[in-house]
Chain A
Amino acid sequence: MELVSPGLGLIFWKALAFGIVLIILRKYAWRPILSTIKEREHFISNSIRHGKRIHQELAELDATKEKLLIQAKEKASEVIKQAKLDGEEIIQKANRQARQEANQIIEAAKNSIMAERKAAEREIRQQIILLSMDVASKVMQKEFSDQKRNDEFISKLLDEIQLN
Chain B
Amino acid sequence: MKGSKNRISYFDAKRAGIVLMLVLFLASPCLAKLEPGAEESGKNDGKEKKFDAGKVIIDKILDAYEWHVADFGDIYISIPLPVILMYEGKWYFFLSHKFHHGKKAYKGFGIASEGSKRGRIIRVLDDGKTPDPNASFLLDISITKNVVSIIIASVFLCILLITVARRYTHCGFKKAPSGLPAFLEPLILFVRDDIARSVIPEKEVERFLPYLLSLFSVIFFNNLLGLVPFFPGGANVTGNISVTLTLAMFTFFTLHLFANKEYWKHIFNTPGVPFWLKLPLPLMPVIELVGVFVKPIVLTLRLFANITAGHMIILGFVSLIFVLGATATSMGLAVAPLSVVFVIFMNFLELLVAFIQAYVFTFFSAIFFGMAVPEEHH
Contact = CB atoms under 8 A, between A and B. Distances in A.
Interface in B132-182: 139-144, 146-147, 150-151, 154, 157-158, 161-162, 164-166, 168-169, 172-174, 181
Contact of A5 (B116, B162, B172): B116
B209 interface: yes
Contacts of A29: 158, 161-162, 164-165
Given A2-B62, A3-B241, A14-B243, A21 B172 contact: no
Given A18-B250, A21-B154, A13 B147 contact: yes
Classify the secondary structure of B's interface with A: helix
Contacts of B217: 25
Nearest to A43: B173
A50 to B, nearest CB: 14
B213 interface: yes
A130 B209 CA distance: 144
Interface stretch (B43-51, B92-100, B184-192): B184-192
B151 A17 contact: yes
Given A8-B139, A25-B161, A14 B214 contact: no
Interface residues of A, number: 36
A37 B167 CA distance: 12
A23 B62 CA distance: 29
A22 B219 CA distance: 12
A9 B141 contact: yes
A7 B63 contact: yes
Interface in A1-50: 1-15, 17-22, 24-26, 28-34, 36-37, 39-40, 43
A3 B62 contact: yes
B62 A5 contact: no
Given A5-B241, A25-B214, A30 B209 contact: yes
Contacts, number: 146
Contacts of B58: 2-3
Contact of A2 (B118, B147, B162): B118
B141 A33 contact: no
Contacts of B250: 15, 18-19, 22
A85 to B, nearest CB: 64
B61 interface: yes
A26 B172 CA distance: 19
Contacts of B144: 9-10
A37 B185 contact: yes
A36 B143 CA distance: 38
Nearest to A5: B116
Contacts of A20: 154
B120 to A, nearest CB: 6
B246 A14 contact: yes
B210 A21 contact: no
Most chain B CB inside 10 Å of its own CB: which residue of A4, A17, A29, A34: A29
Interface in B204-224: 209-211, 213-214, 217-218
A17 B154 contact: yes
Contacts of B128: none
A128 B101 CA distance: 181
Nearest to B151: A17
Nearest to A44: B173
B23 to A, nearest CB: 19
Given A11-B246, A18-B250, A36 B162 contact: no
Contacts of B169: 32, 36
Contacts of B247: 14, 18
Contacts of B174: 40, 43
Which 3 pairs across A and B sit closest by C-beta, in order of nearness?
Answer: A39-B173, A29-B161, A10-B242
30 contacts: A2-B116, A2-B119, A3-B58, A5-B241, A7-B63, A8-B141, A9-B84, A10-B144, A11-B246, A12-B141, A13-B150, A18-B150, A18-B250, A21-B157, A21-B158, A21-B214, A24-B158, A25-B158, A25-B213, A25-B217, A28-B158, A29-B158, A29-B161, A29-B162, A29-B164, A30-B210, A33-B168, A37-B192, A39-B173, A43-B174
Interface of B: 58, 61-63, 84, 115-120, 139-144, 146-147, 150-151, 154, 157-158, 161-162, 164-166, 168-169, 172-174, 181, 185, 188-189, 192, 209-211, 213-214, 217-218, 240-243, 245-247, 249-250, 304, 308
